[in-house]
Amino acid sequence: MAVATAAAVLAALGGALWLVARRFAGSGVQRQRGGGDPGLMHGKTVLITGANSGLGRATAAELVRLGARVIMGCRDRARAEEAAGQLRRELRQAAECGPEPGVGGAGELIVRELDLASLRSVRAFCQEMLQEEPKLDVLINNAGIFQCPYMKTEDGFEMQFGVNHLGHFLLTNLLLGLLKSSAPSRIVVVSSKLYKYGDINFDDLNSEQSYNKSFCYSRSKLANILFTRELARRLEGTNVTVNVLHPGIVRTNLGRHIHIPLLVRPLFNLVSWAFFKTPVEGAQTSIYLASSPEVEGVSGRYFGDCKEEELLPKALDESVARKLWDISEVMVGLLK
């Protein structure tokens, strides 16, 4: 019995050490891919949705470090202001502790209220942007909701499809004129590998006949990709590019609607710590597509880990992409 117990303990310790080694080896690879020279984004204005936490916060932090003027479009203004304050303090501390304090200079953070579950809020936000912003160099459609119980947006759309696709669809379309006048400019869309499990059911886009929270999330992420590809086709010759990415599996509060049994949580936390990316690691492809000279002029592509990846045929279906675009225009009120 004692031998068996000792063996079990040694096995557990060995497994834990392996997980630790994997964590640090993986994080080193991710950090090596990211980053850029301070000043790379100097003079650039970037809009990031959902920038107060998770991937959006990490993306904002790095782009500000690179010199960008970052507009944080967030639903909860108080939380966004708090996050912006924390980011400013972190950036000041990093600048003071750097090898050449004061050299390069970080950019600027601006907070604006944007609720993607409300078309009224999206329109008001865009009106303010068009009135106050002379240019927009990069739009990052980052905000999202993940596998929530069935609920509807202010306008009556299923929440995941409404926020993840329709809210961003309207936002992007209303800001296209500003992006075109600011060209060369970029649009970055955050999707997910889970698009593979989704399908576009035009007979029930609002999930009123049946609702599966996992399927509906996957469908919204497939819609992100189809939107990107159709938008890239429509933007040919404008010097505005649009690309879509998956960040991998990231430890963020996006999974707040998922119930993890109490007894399983310690194991889940260990596994997520070992195998999931940190927000900083997960944000690297967003940062890359927003700032890297390597993707200048590249449009309509799908990326992961800062590399182009292949898509399944259903994400390449041009007829479905065009039909989804046409229906989305009507749903958000761009066409009557």
Catalytic residue positions, numbered: 217
Report the alpha-carbon distance of residue 335 to residue 327 in Å, rounded: 9
The helix (run of H) or strand (run of E) holding residue 95 is: helix 77-97
Angstrom distance (rounded) from CA 124 to CA 113: 9
Under 8 Å between Cβ of 108 and 64: yes
* Residue that has been written with the tokens 């119980």 in this structure: 149
- SS3 assignment, position 184: coil
Cβ–Cβ under 8 Å, residues 251 and 273: yes
List all residues 6 or more positions away from 236 whose beta carbon is below 8 Å from its beta carbon: 299
- A 10 A CB-CB count for 112 gives 17
Question: Three-class SS of residue 246?
Answer: strand
Question: Could you tell me what percentage of the chain is helix, strand and coil, using 3-state DSSP and rounding each to the nearest 5?
Answer: 50, 15, 35
What whole-number distance in Å separates Cα of residue 161 and Cα of residue 5? 50
The 3-state secondary structure of 135-179 reads CCCEEEECCCCCCCCCCECCCCCEHHHHHHHHHHHHHHHHHHHHH
Report d(CA 21, CA 2) in Å as an integer. 28
